[in-house]
Amino acid sequence: MTDIYPDMGSVNGGDVVVITGEKYSSHIDTTEFKCRFTPATLDIPAKLVQAYYVNETAIKCNAPGGWSEAARMVLQVTWNGVDFDENHFQYTYYSIHRAHPRSGPSSGEGGDIVISGQGFREDTNPSCKLNNTIYDPLFVNSTQIRCPLPAAEGGDDYFGNVNLEVNANGRTWVPFEGGF
């Protein structure tokens, strides 16, 4: 086993995590083939989820959700339900709390859109999407992603909502209900 991708996902779960390596075999007992997510920063029990063979160089599992907050996990795999690998891959969860403000002038001169939450990382290449146009964030730290507020594509007289989404892990878009 050599790597995992992505190494970050939402506390809601559901992100597909691919574990790359060599010489994986499809001859497995599917009832015992599991991924274990063990919290390293929370004092709660680990969660086991089904693992799936993809090919000789990849296996996958769906990251479990239901975590109360952003946390760091140790991801391990077992083929027999008892013995887990010793790679101790790091997987982190993030949570998105809100976007503020949720409206602004069509001129784009209203300041930044601040996405607040926990567990954000600059190295995951987060991005913002406003009206289906992708923007690089202006700033990222563990609790904020600052998105630019561009001028409305419809001009200075534009009035109405446009879609607003954020991508915190370089892979999964999270839409905000009601847009911007």
Mean pLDDT of all residues in 76-84: 95
On whether the CB atoms of residues 90 and 73 are closer than 8 A, the answer is yes
Alpha helices in the chain (DSSP H): none
pLDDT digits (tens, 9 = 90+) for 81-91: 999 999 999 99
pLDDT reported for residue 164: 97
φ/ψ (deg, to 5) at 150? -80, 165
Q: What residues contact 41, with CB distance under 8 A and at least 6 apart?
A: 71, 72
What is the spatial distance between Cα 90 and Cα 87, in angstroms, rounded to a whole number? 9
Domains of the chain: 3-93 (2.60.40.10), 101-175 (2.60.40)
For residue 76, pLDDT beyond 90: yes
pTM above 0.95, yes or no: no
pLDDT digits (tens, 9 = 90+) for 6-63: 999 999 999 999 999 999 988 888 899 999 999 998 888 999 999 999 999 999 999 9
On whether the CB atoms of residues 38 and 67 are closer than 8 A, the answer is no
Q: One-letter amino acid identity for 40? A: A
Mean pLDDT of all residues in 98-113: 92
Q: Tokens at residue 8, please? A: 């970050």
